[in-house]
A and B are shown apart, each in its own frame.
Chain A
């Protein structure tokens, strides 16, 4: 079945540091890939997505590229801010129709000034 593996946290970075959160997946066919973010005290919200190989999703300075050859969708940001402190979830959905998202376990990021 479909599954997502993401690096375990917590991750602690200083402000303006470079961020990478690794995510790899196992799926049949051509899934869509997502990063969701959960800020403290808030609900999950979509950060970015990519629906086909080599697509790059981007939002708020974050980027992730759908790499089919390595089955990966790593999240990157060149310069993190304190306000980026949150839990980040990698997820995938199946190719056809509205299939439920399969989530990774989440990575907690803390950015310190």
Chain B
């Protein structure tokens, strides 16, 4: 597709279960980002992948959170042993990797996670 695609769009899970969220970036984009948007908290950076470089994991809130990017394209964000405070919209974004800091970052529509 033309844009960043995320799935599932909505996920309700029980506390303690693991969840996987998927992101398919725009074709040709080498940079991929995960953000979390919580009510009243704005956008929180989680993790960033750039080409074959080691990912920047500095935003992951705990060791229950991890992400992979296979083949430089699709990414999966995994949350283990979910807690109610993990409830949020998880946003994926991508951008081109061949220019400086002014690259436009394109966002998917997000995966709404509710932990009950």
Contact = CB atoms under 8 A, between A and B. Distances in A.
Interface of A: 31-32, 34, 36, 42-46, 49, 51, 89, 93-106
Nearest to B105: A101
Interface string B92-116: 0101110011111111111000000
Interface residue tally of chain B, by bracket?
20 to 34
B44 to A, nearest CB: 8
Interface in B18-63: 30-31, 33, 35, 40-43, 45, 48, 50, 56, 59
B95 to A, nearest CB: 6
Contacts of B100: 32, 51, 95-97
B77 interface: no
B97 A98 contact: yes
B101 A93 contact: yes
Interface of B: 30-31, 33, 35, 40-43, 45, 48, 50, 56, 59, 91, 93, 95-97, 100-110
Contact of A96 (B33, B41, B97, B101): B101
Contact of A32 (B97, B101, B108): B101
Contacts of A99: 48, 101
A44 B97 CA distance: 20
A32 B42 contact: no
A41 to B, nearest CB: 9
Contacts of A46: 104-106
B31 A43 contact: no
A27 B35 CA distance: 20
Contacts of A106: 42-43
A51 B33 contact: no
Contacts of A51: 100-102
Contacts of B91: 43-44
Given A31-B101, A43-B110, A100 B33 contact: yes
